[in-house]
Amino acid sequence: MKVDPGAMGRATVKIAFLALVLFIIFGPLSSLAIWSVAEKWYWPYALPQQVGLFYWGRVLGSDLMRSLQLGFFIATVVTMLTLLCTVPVGYALARFDVLFKSVIMMLFLLPQAFPQLPVFANAAVLLYKFDLGATIPGVVLIHMVGSLVYAVWIMTAVFKSIPVEMEEAAINLGASRIRAFLSIALPLAVPGIVASSLLVFLYSLDEFTGTLLIGAPFVVTLPVFMYNASMGYELQVASITALLLMIPGMVLLVLLERYLKAEYLSMFGRI
């Protein structure tokens, strides 16, 4: 049987490239996995001298689950409030000749145009003046500062991708503008709404800087819990927390890839 040297070379290159990609992705995660089961690990040993699930039991028996539940609750509230604001705003920006539309779209990008720390620090001063510091409503508001950026642009692109002729046909047949929106535009926009909600939920769940500045010391989500553990040089606790935080993020990213369609992304340049 004759073997093609060129085919073997291409297969070798593909395998090497795949191995490199896997190493780049999972290499840093392997240290987290090792640290999560390391009970004793001292220099200069390359691997732990003693492994076990002691720190897993310690973490799961601590306030971690409370922080995880609190993070999910805040992310859910942020997602609902953000969609409530951005679905009508995105529809209006996509369908109507709004005055200073480009300026309005740029205003939503301003929080991302500057480093997060000074933006959140100034927001913290305002929130503490209204007694919203170290409270869940204050953390929800600071999360919405970032989530509105993603949601407004995505929802505008989603409604821009839906042919306006379909709504115009319904209006010509006697439907009101609101009914055309509810019966045609909104159902067609459901995949985009799901994609936007997943992105906002993931952003809120992983948000750290604003949560630390506004919520500390009473509102402790999982990223803040991980930060507190790492500051105490408890690398096992921080590693376990990081692994647990990755699970919902990976699941949500898989769902996001399913619902975020290419036509939505193509509309960003036409907004």
**Segment 151-196, tens digit of pLDDT:** 888 888 888 888 888 888 888 888 888 888 888 888 888 888 888 8
* 217 cis-preceded (ω within 30 degrees of 0): yes
Q: Does residue 153 sit in the same domain as residue 85?
A: yes
Cα 254 from Cα 132, distance rounded (Å):
35
Whole-model pTM: value is 0.79
Q: Does residue 79 sit in the same domain as residue 9?
A: no
Q: Does residue 12 sit in the same domain as residue 99?
A: no
Query: Which percentage of the chain shows pLDDT scores above 90?
Result: 12
Q: Is the pLDDT of residue 139 over 90?
A: yes
Which of 17, 34, 52 represents a domain boundary (last residue)?
Answer: 52
Q: Does residue 160 sit in the same domain as residue 243?
A: yes
Q: Does residue 38 sit in the same domain as residue 95?
A: no
Q: Where are the alpha helices (DSSP H) in the chain?
A: 5-37, 54-60, 64-95, 101-113, 116-129, 136-161, 164-172, 177-180, 186-188, 190-206, 209-215, 222-231, 235-259, 262-266
Q: Which domain holds residue 201?
A: 57-270
Q: Is 259 exposed, middle or buried (0-12, 13-18, 19+ CB in 10 A)?
A: middle
Write the pLDDT tens digit of every residue in 206-262. Answer: 899 889 989 888 899 988 888 887 777 678 888 888 888 888 777 777 777 776 655
Q: Does residue 101 sit in the same domain as residue 9?
A: no
- What's the domain count of the chain? 2
Q: Which residue has the higher pLDDT, 270 or 180?
A: 180
Residue 69's alpha-carbon distances to 74, 158, 245, in angstroms, are 9, 31, 12
Cα 39 from Cα 21, distance rounded (Å):
30
Q: Does residue 126 sit in the same domain as residue 188?
A: yes
Residue 62 DSSP code: T
Which of 13, 32, 52 represents a domain boundary (last residue)?
Answer: 52
When mean pLDDT is compared across 11-25, 37-51, 134-148, 215-229, the lowest value belongs to: 11-25
Q: Does residue 190 sit in the same domain as residue 162?
A: yes
Q: Does residue 112 sit in the same domain as residue 61?
A: yes
Which of 15, 31, 52 represents a domain boundary (last residue)?
Answer: 52
Q: Does residue 134 sit in the same domain as residue 261?
A: yes
**CATH number, residue 88:** 1.10.3720.10
Q: Does residue 69 sit in the same domain as residue 18?
A: no
Q: Does residue 10 sit in the same domain as residue 115?
A: no
